[in-house]
A and B are shown apart, each in its own frame.
Chain A
């Protein structure tokens, strides 16, 4: 019995180490049995003596693709209220990063405070705003995340973001860990520890100043909401360069580049706590301090305003007043606090 307990403990430790060794479910951490079961039957673990933990199975099987459960329920077996994997659904019942989850929280079932309107809704059959994508079976985790870590043309996709989201085939989001690489879309300070999924562990590069790697990925579903200043869906092409946007820019628009009533770099850099923006130089200032000498090439994109999964605010917006740690909801009380991160109107 003691041996069984020891082996179980050792396996859990191994599992936790694996989770924190970069993005999981890829390469050496792609463990088939975590998600699949061959015969919809399992009576013991994978150790020779039958010990070891294994993922529970749903009660309505057998399931397609030899899965252990319906796909969302399967993912949530580990990704909801567990300490060894990031908690992605509603309140964080798992490991709490210092500054809050970078992606926030998904919702399901239109239950307060994570109503359907607060972000991406698991199981929703709605059409993606701005695009045509919908999943007749309801929105699934695997619509956005590639469960096998496959990145298509992107060798190492950030968060296993799928190169097939939205039904097409496109580039995923590249990233660097530890040492920044300005040719990558994302930079993570560290790929482990309790702050692996902390909002302040993730930063956004801008390898192409007319584009957004992260935004381009979101575009695979929310098609019309993205593009550069050269795209007719984003800006009046007959207007002065960089002006007369039809939709809020998600790329190709530097904060404060235009005078007058547009965005204001002084306003943004004066905030101690700022939302994410893209920087081509890898300079994002210090979180928690006003930013002296902020570069003039900072560009907002999707993640500047929205939590990828959602939060407790309509549209998953971050009410970022900027006076205190933003956390997942923002430190303000209304969406206009977010607008005022960059815009001076209403100051």
Chain B
């Protein structure tokens, strides 16, 4: 009996110690946030908009274009439009009555609310399925219908909580394979003067300015055209590469701790530009090991370019659209959006190319040029 008691005591003690070790990682939410975004712990939690860079300027749902009644209704009833309101109203003809919803929203769920305008309404960015605006290629791609599993991008779904529930979608009870997103995870519905109102899902309001740089000649829906969007970074909170916001959920895909855990310079995961962790990259860096072909990338012809336009890249030091378009393997970095569309695409994993047999490595070859060997 005494032997069993000792064994039981030992097990309890071991479990307690293990629990302490694990708990240290997960019970301190602030520490968790600082782990995901190291720059946050350096006194940069509230980064004001940088007007000299201004990529977030002219973003809708900000300042004078933040129109409360587009999303909220005070009494779940509206007999007629507001002064100066553009018609037709996506919510239908007047008088309107709504099912009373939390936060006085015009729909029961934020996703349903956003899609009232952002799906199949001409003149407003269409983020689901076919594009009513007829853009050549939407910069962020497109989602499938909410609630539908989407192997081609992010799964959009209803009923998701705010940032407090974010972690549990993948950790603890959730899994990466089934995790879904809500529009307001990544976009601040009240505007934050960041491009596309992008935000840190784990810490809304703490995000830096993002280097999503729109062609100043583009107007209207063209501002969402893939060709009219470039990417830059100054490697600090004045202008972070936009993929910095992906880290909130995809934080195990970035940083040398994950990409090169043994520090031997041979990647265990594909690198992605991460200035916040000092894990920057450029296409020329792989040349010494023969993994990349900078000249091939800069030439833009041959293997990898047969069916696929030049993949997107983040330009180190670029702060405007023009400088973001410079093709130079020494400053062109690979980041999440090089290969993936943020919302999704028609290709598996939201890839920028179709990874089917015969051109499976098309996108890879733009930098690595292996097929032609």
Which A residues are closer than 8 A to B by beta carbons?
117, 126, 129-130, 222, 224-225, 233, 236, 239, 244-248, 261, 305, 313-315, 334-336, 339, 343, 345-347
CB contacts (< 8 Å) of B103 on chain A: these are 244-245
Q: Does B63 contact A (CB under 8 A)?
A: yes
CB contacts (< 8 Å) of B62 on chain A: these are 346
Residue contact B83 to A334, C-beta cutoff 8 Å: yes
- Chain A interface main SS type: loop
* A345 CA to B197 CA, complexed, in Å: 13
Residue total for B at the interface (Cβ-Cβ under 8 A): 25
> Which residue on A lies nearest to B190, using beta carbons?
A345
Residue contact A129 to B79, C-beta cutoff 8 Å: yes
Given known A129-B77, A336-B68, contact A233–B82 (CB-CB < 8 A) = no
Given known A313-B83, A334-B83, A334-B84, contact A246–B68 (CB-CB < 8 A) = no
Given known A239-B102, A245-B104, A346-B191, contact A335–B76 (CB-CB < 8 A) = no
> Which residue on A lies nearest to B95, using beta carbons?
A129
Which B residues are closer than 8 A to A by beta carbons?
62-64, 66-69, 74-77, 79-84, 95, 100-104, 190-191
Residue contact B100 to A335, C-beta cutoff 8 Å: no
Contact partner of A246 (CB less than 8 A), chosen from B64, B83, B95, B104, is B104
> Which residue on B lies nearest to A226, using beta carbons?
B75
CB contacts (< 8 Å) of A315 on chain B: these are 80, 82
Residue contact B76 to A247, C-beta cutoff 8 Å: yes
CB contacts (< 8 Å) of B77 on chain A: these are 129-130, 224-225
In addition to A117-B80, A246-B76, A246-B102, 9 A-B residue pairs with Cβ atoms within 8 Å of each other are A129-B77, A130-B77, A245-B102, A245-B103, A246-B104, A247-B74, A343-B68, A345-B66, A346-B62
Ranked 9 nearest A-B pairs via Cβ: A246-B100, A346-B66, A345-B190, A248-B74, A225-B75, A244-B102, A117-B80, A314-B83, A339-B68
CB contacts (< 8 Å) of B83 on chain A: these are 313-314, 334-335
B4 vs chain A, min Cβ distance (A): 46
Residue contact A336 to B67, C-beta cutoff 8 Å: yes
17 contacts between A and B (CB under 8 A): A117-B80, A129-B95, A222-B75, A224-B76, A244-B103, A248-B104, A334-B84, A335-B82, A336-B64, A336-B67, A336-B68, A345-B66, A345-B68, A345-B190, A345-B191, A346-B66, A346-B68
> Which residue on A lies nearest to B62, using beta carbons?
A346
* A336 CA to B100 CA, complexed, in Å: 21
CB contacts (< 8 Å) of A305 on chain B: these are 74
Residue contact A117 to B76, C-beta cutoff 8 Å: no
Given known A224-B77, A247-B76, contact A336–B66 (CB-CB < 8 A) = yes
* A247 CA to B75 CA, complexed, in Å: 5
* A245 CA to B80 CA, complexed, in Å: 22
A281 vs chain B, min Cβ distance (A): 27
* A236 CA to B62 CA, complexed, in Å: 28
* A224 CA to B80 CA, complexed, in Å: 18
B77 vs chain A, min Cβ distance (A): 5
CB contacts (< 8 Å) of A239 on chain B: these are 102
> Which residue on A lies nearest to B81, using beta carbons?
A314
Residue contact A314 to B80, C-beta cutoff 8 Å: yes
* A78 CA to B210 CA, complexed, in Å: 63
* A314 CA to B83 CA, complexed, in Å: 6
> Which residue on B lies nearest to A236, using beta carbons?
B102
Residue contact B100 to A233, C-beta cutoff 8 Å: yes
> Which residue on B lies nearest to A247, using beta carbons?
B75
Residue contact A117 to B79, C-beta cutoff 8 Å: yes
Residue contact A247 to B68, C-beta cutoff 8 Å: no
CB contacts (< 8 Å) of A129 on chain B: these are 75, 77, 79, 95
* A346 CA to B63 CA, complexed, in Å: 4
* A346 CA to B70 CA, complexed, in Å: 13
CB contacts (< 8 Å) of A246 on chain B: these are 76, 100-102, 104
Which of B63, B66, B100 has the largest number of chain A CB atoms within 10 A?
A: B100
> Which residue on B lies nearest to A250, using beta carbons?
B75
* A138 CA to B366 CA, complexed, in Å: 74
Residue contact A130 to B104, C-beta cutoff 8 Å: no
A70 vs chain B, min Cβ distance (A): 26
CB contacts (< 8 Å) of A236 on chain B: these are 102
Given known A246-B104, A314-B80, A335-B83, contact A346–B190 (CB-CB < 8 A) = yes
B347 vs chain A, min Cβ distance (A): 37
CB contacts (< 8 Å) of A225 on chain B: these are 75, 77
* A130 CA to B97 CA, complexed, in Å: 9
Given known A117-B80, A345-B190, contact A248–B75 (CB-CB < 8 A) = yes
CB contacts (< 8 Å) of A335 on chain B: these are 68-69, 82-83
* A281 CA to B190 CA, complexed, in Å: 34
* A306 CA to B75 CA, complexed, in Å: 13
CB contacts (< 8 Å) of B102 on chain A: these are 236, 239, 244-246
* A117 CA to B95 CA, complexed, in Å: 11
> Which residue on B lies nearest to A315, using beta carbons?
B82
> Which residue on A lies nearest to B79, using beta carbons?
A129
Contact partner of A247 (CB less than 8 A), chosen from B67, B69, B100, B190, is B100
A232 vs chain B, min Cβ distance (A): 9
A260 vs chain B, min Cβ distance (A): 10
* A126 CA to B79 CA, complexed, in Å: 10
* A261 CA to B163 CA, complexed, in Å: 14
Which of A222, A224, A225, A346 has the largest number of chain B CB atoms within 10 A?
A: A346
* A315 CA to B96 CA, complexed, in Å: 14
> Which residue on A lies nearest to B204, using beta carbons?
A261
> Which residue on A lies nearest to B67, using beta carbons?
A336
CB contacts (< 8 Å) of B80 on chain A: these are 117, 314-315
B63 vs chain A, min Cβ distance (A): 6
* A222 CA to B78 CA, complexed, in Å: 12
* A314 CA to B87 CA, complexed, in Å: 15
* A203 CA to B68 CA, complexed, in Å: 27
CB contacts (< 8 Å) of A334 on chain B: these are 83-84
* A335 CA to B72 CA, complexed, in Å: 13
A186 vs chain B, min Cβ distance (A): 23
CB contacts (< 8 Å) of A233 on chain B: these are 100
* A347 CA to B190 CA, complexed, in Å: 10
B190 vs chain A, min Cβ distance (A): 4
CB contacts (< 8 Å) of B76 on chain A: these are 224, 246-247
